Homo-oligomer: A and B are copies of this chain.
Amino acid sequence: MNINTNKTIPYKTHLKENELPSAWYNVRADMKTDQQPLLNPKTFKPVTLEDLEPVFCTELAKQELNTTDRYIPIPDEVLNFYRMYRPGPLVRAYCLEEALGTPARIYYKYEGGNTSGSHKLNSAIAQAYYAKEQGLKGVTTETGAGQWGTALSMACGYFGLECLVYMVKCSAMQKPYRRGVIETYGASVVPSPSDTTEAGRKMLAANPDNPGSLGTAISEAVEVALNTPGYRYVLGSVLNQVMLHQSIIGLEAKAAMAKYDEYPDIVIGCAGGGSNLGGLISAFMEDKLAGKRNPHFIAVEPSSCPSLTRGRFAYDYCDTGHITPLAKMYTIGSGYIPASSHSGGLRFHGMSPILSQLYHDGHLDEARSVKQTEIFEAAKLFAKVEGILPAPESAHAIKVTLDEARRCKETGEEKVILFGLTGTGYFDLSAYMAYNSGTMTDYVPSDEELEKGLATIPDIGL
């Protein structure tokens, strides 16, 4: 392979540690239309701090409701942990550009360079810190692909907190070693649905072979947090607090690109609950909302769980057991159990309320859904030429990046493309092996199947 030798921009740009952002960016302070408030699931009235405090750490509940502070300082203890694996590199994908023969300049923000293998650690360490500060004993959570559970176990291990992880059953079976790493950091893992909670027992009674879903695991984790003294529930995506913490991805990416006078024309991120996409576009969205720049944002979701591309913008529950507040979001219904796939991190029926509102208002420009076999084809090409084996979730963004870069080849446009490489696929080898052996299948729900999910969205007259 011949490599472009005219490289004025390095392959990898590492900000210095003193260039690490010292505050998170809260996009709600800039949104043209604020997201609709979360609703109390019993009264259907907007949730208050008092409603949230039994479930969430107090400081995190405040962040959840904060619509006014544009920047929120990152605590020193969190910054110290960030310094162990951040700033994350911005990588110029020279070898991928060459392989595609595209005039596009492709960059990716790499978030997989830590043991959790993904960007999830950015929020996990913040949430664990606030729990510790509050004097809590432990936290509960759910995990799909296992990335969030791993990240949270690392964060809790660091701060000496107990940690109970409800892991979606089909993921737990696909990835036994995910459980191994979570337990190595001292956390406990329960495959969900389980018989340890009322919500879980109800699901198992209806279907003993239920493969689980994030929605169900959330119900279980919240139930336990509510019933265990000194415990709170924490969540790795969807919520505003998570978007806030993940803004560090976009803040770093923008700062690193600015060092070379680069600015993305297109920003591409995979989207499940929205934590990565919201984080990646954060600083660029700030520019867009201020009318300074106009990057084109693309959300990429799996065809098997198409909340943005085929869902409805409506109030819905975040969990299957209907314990959590309702959020106004793009959703395919909390009763929809997405087909088991190899991108467990994207198997959520809803979408971040912030991103949903931004999409509804046209600031998040576009959403595309892609098939599982397409994303593994893209992942293997990327792995071969760029060296890094991507997580299946991240490969959604790679697939659309390849599409856009190939389009640039046709048109000759020298577009600057930035995508989020959220994580590594080291715990997804069973998925790669299925793809390698040709046994992987795709799943696109029919309109009828999808309608069954959409029909579970409650009609609350809002």
Residues on A lying within 8 angstroms of B by beta carbon are 1, 3, 5, 10-12, 14, 16-18, 76-77, 80-81, 83-85, 91, 94-95, 113-115, 117, 154, 157-160, 176-177, 180-181, 183-186, 380, 383-389, 424, 426-427, 429-430, 432-433, 436
Instruction: Tell me if A183 and B426 are in contact (CB < 8 A).
Output: no
Point out the residue from B16, B80, B380 that lies within 8 Å of A3, measured CB to CB: B80
Cα distance, A433 to B176, chains bound together (Å)? 10
Contact A389 B181 (CB under 8 A): yes
For the complex, give the distance between the alpha carbons of A424 and B388 in Å.
Answer: 14
CB of A373 to closest CB in B, whole Å? 14
In the bound assembly, the distance between CA atoms of A76 and B85 in angstroms comes to 29
A185 to B115, CA, bound (A): 22
Identity of the chain B residue whose Cβ is nearest the Cβ of A17 in the assembled complex: B10
**6 A-B pairs with least C-beta separation:** A177-B429, A180-B429, A11-B83, A426-B426, A10-B17, A180-B433
Chain B positions within 8 Å of A185 at CB level = 383-384
| Chain B residues near A433 (CB-CB < 8 A) | 177, 180, 183-184
> When chains A and B are docked, how far (Å) is the Cα of A385 from the Cα of B177?
21
For A76, the closest partner residue in chain B by CB is B5
For A186, give its contact among B11, B16, B83, B384 (CB under 8 Å).
B384
Docked complex Cα distance between A12 and B20 (Å): 12
Report whether B180 and A426 are in contact in the complex, using a CB–CB cutoff of 8 Å.
Answer: no
Contact flag A184-B432 (CB < 8 Å), given A77-B3, A80-B3, A84-B11: yes
Beyond A84-B95, A154-B387, 11 additional pairs, beta carbon < 8 A: A1-B159, A3-B80, A85-B387, A117-B426, A158-B384, A158-B385, A177-B430, A180-B436, A181-B429, A184-B432, A426-B426
Give every chain B residue within 8 A of A95 (Cβ-Cβ). Answer: 80, 84, 158
Chain B's closest residue to A80 (CB) is B3
**Closest B-chain residue to A132, C-beta based?**
B1
The answer to whether A84 and B426 have CB atoms under 8 Å apart is no
Nearest-neighbor residue (CB-CB) of A432 within chain B: B184
The residue on B at minimum CB distance from A384 is B157
Interchain nearest-CB distance for A452 vs B (Å) = 35
Q: Which residues of B contact A85 (CB under 8 A)?
A: 387
> Which of B83, B117, B385 contacts A10 (CB under 8 A)?
B83
Whether A184 and B383, one on each chain, are in contact in the complex, defined by CB atoms closer than 8 angstroms, is yes
**Centre residue among A76, A83, A186 by max chain B CB count within 10 A:** A83
A11 touches B17 (CB 8 A): yes
- Smallest distance from the beta carbon of A73 to chain B beta carbons, Å? 16
The CA of A154 and the CA of B95, in the complex, are separated in Å by: 14
Question: Closest approach, in angstroms, between the C-beta of A11 and any C-beta of chain B?
Answer: 4
Q: Which of A18, A80, A183, A388 has the most CB of B within 10 A?
A: A80
- Shortest distance in angstroms between A156's beta carbon and chain B's nearest beta carbon? 10
> Chain B contacts of A385 at CB under 8 A?
158
Which chain B residue has the least Cβ–Cβ distance from A154? B387
Contact of A388 among B114, B157, B177, B383 (CB under 8 A): B114
CA distance A387 to B151 in the complex (A): 10
- On chain B, the residues within 8 Å of A159 by CB distance are 1
Considering the chains assembled together, what is the distance between the CA atoms of A387 and B150 in angstroms? 11
In the bound complex, what is the Cα–Cα distance between A81 and B436 (angstroms)? 25
User: Are B432's CB and A1's CB within 8 A?
Assistant: no
The reply to whether A84 and B386 form a contact with Cβ atoms under 8 Å apart is: yes
Q: A432–B160 Cα gap in the complex (Å)? A: 20
Across the interface, name the chain B residue whose C-beta is closest to A431. B180
Q: Please give the distance in Å from A6's CB to the nearest CB on chain B.
A: 12
Q: Is A432 within 8 A of B387, CB to CB?
A: no
**B residues in contact with A113, CB < 8 Å:** 113
Among residues of B, the one whose C-beta sits closest to the C-beta of A157 is B384
Residues of B within 8 A of A114 (CB): 387-388
